[in-house]
C-alpha cells in the first residue's frame, strides 16, 4: 500500500516538473552526489562549490579528484546554459508574438479609422445631397460654374436726389380776375 502511494506522488511531481523544466532549472535546488558527498543548491551554487573543491584538489596535488570536480561543475554549467537558452528562446517567441499582436491591433485600428472616415464622408455627402441645391443658369463661357459675390458685376450707384423742400402755399384764386392775390394785389402794367 505504501509503495502505490509513493508511486502516484512521484508521477504527479514528475509530470508537473517536466512542463516547466527549462525555466525552473535556474532557481531549482538540486542534490548532487559528488565524489566527496552530496552538494545541495541551485545550479550556480553547485558550480561554485565544485570549482572550489577542484581548486582545493589541485592545491593538494590530487589531479584525479580535481578533474572529477571539474567534470561535475561542467555538467551543471551545461544544464544552466541549456536552461538559459530555453528561457531566451521562450522570451524571444513571446516578444515575437507580442509584436505580431501589436501589429494586428495597429492594422485593425487603422482599418477602423479608415472605415469611420469613409462613413463620415458618406454621411456628409448624403447630407449635402439631401439639401436642396439652388438652380444656377449656365452662362455662355461659364459651364456650370457657381456664381460668387466676387464674380457678380458691381451695381451702379443710384443718382443722388435733391433734398426735398417744403411746398409753397398756393395762392387762392379770386372772383374778379385771374391775378393771384385778389383786389389788394397791385396790378401789373399793361
The strand pair at 30-34 and 37-41 is best described as: antiparallel
DSSP E strand stretches across the chain: 30-34, 37-41
Residue with cell 551543471: 76
Q: Are 180 and 171 in contact (CB under 8 A)?
A: yes
User: Residue 68 CA to chain centroid, in angstroms?
Assistant: 59
**What integer pLDDT is reported at residue 112 of this predicted model?**
93
Helices 43-59 and 63-130 pack at an angle, to 10 degrees, of: 150
Dist CA 35 CA 47 (whole Å): 14
Could you tell me the pTM of the whole model? Answer: 0.44
Name the region of 81 (left: φ>0; alpha: ψ -120 to 50; beta: rest): alpha
User: Residue 176 CA to chain centroid, in angstroms?
Assistant: 107
Dist CA 178 CA 107 (whole Å): 106
DSSP type of residue 28: -
Please give the helix or strand (H or E) that residue 55 lies within, else none. Answer: helix 43-59
Reading the chain (190 residues) residue by residue, the pLDDT tens digits are: 444 555 555 555 544 444 445 457 788 888 887 777 788 889 999 999 999 999 999 999 999 999 999 999 999 999 999 999 999 999 999 999 999 999 999 999 999 999 999 999 888 888 877 777 666 665 555 556 677 777 777 777 777 777 777 777 777 765 555 555 555 555 555 4
Dist CA 130 CA 87 (whole Å): 63
Dist CA 177 CA 65 (whole Å): 168
- For the chain, give every domain's residue range: 22-125
**What integer pLDDT is reported at residue 139 of this predicted model?**
57
Q: Which residues pair with 39 in a beta bridge?
A: 32
**What integer pLDDT is reported at residue 186 of this predicted model?**
56
**What integer pLDDT is reported at residue 8 of this predicted model?**
52
**What integer pLDDT is reported at residue 35 of this predicted model?**
77
DSSP type of residue 132: P
Amino acid at each position: 500500500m505504501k509503495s502505490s502511494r509513493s508511486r502516484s506522488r512521484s508521477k504527479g511531481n514528475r509530470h508537473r516538473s517536466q512542463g516547466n523544466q527549462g525555466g525552473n532549472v535556474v532557481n531549482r535546488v538540486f542534490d548532487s552526489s559528488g565524489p566527496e558527498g552530496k552538494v545541495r543548491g541551485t545550479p550556480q551554487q553547485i558550480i561554485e562549490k565544485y570549482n572550489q573543491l577542484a581548486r582545493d584538489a589541485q592545491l593538494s596535488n590530487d589531479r584525479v579528484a580535481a578533474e572529477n570536480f571539474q567534470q561535475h561543475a561542467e555538467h551543471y554549467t551545461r544544464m544552466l546554459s541549456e536552461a538559459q537558452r530555453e528561457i531566451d528562446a521562450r522570451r524571444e517567441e513571446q516578444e515575437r508574438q507580442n509584436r505580431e499582436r501589436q501589429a494586428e491591433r495597429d492594422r485593425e485600428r487603422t482599418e477602423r479609422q479608415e472605415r469611420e472616415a469613409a462613413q463620415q464622408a458618406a454621411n456628409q455627402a448624403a447630407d449635402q445631397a439631401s439639401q436642396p441645391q439652388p438652380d444656377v443658369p449656365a452662362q455662355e463661357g461659364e459651364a456650370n460654374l457657381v456664381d460668387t459675390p466676387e464674380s457678380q458685376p458691381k451695381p451702379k450707384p443710384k443718382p443722388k436726389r435733391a433734398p426735398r423742400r417744403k411746398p409753397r402755399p398756393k395762392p387762392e384764386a379770386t372772383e374778379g380776375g385771374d391775378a393771384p392775390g385778389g383786389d389788394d394785389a397791385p396790378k401789373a402794367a399793361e
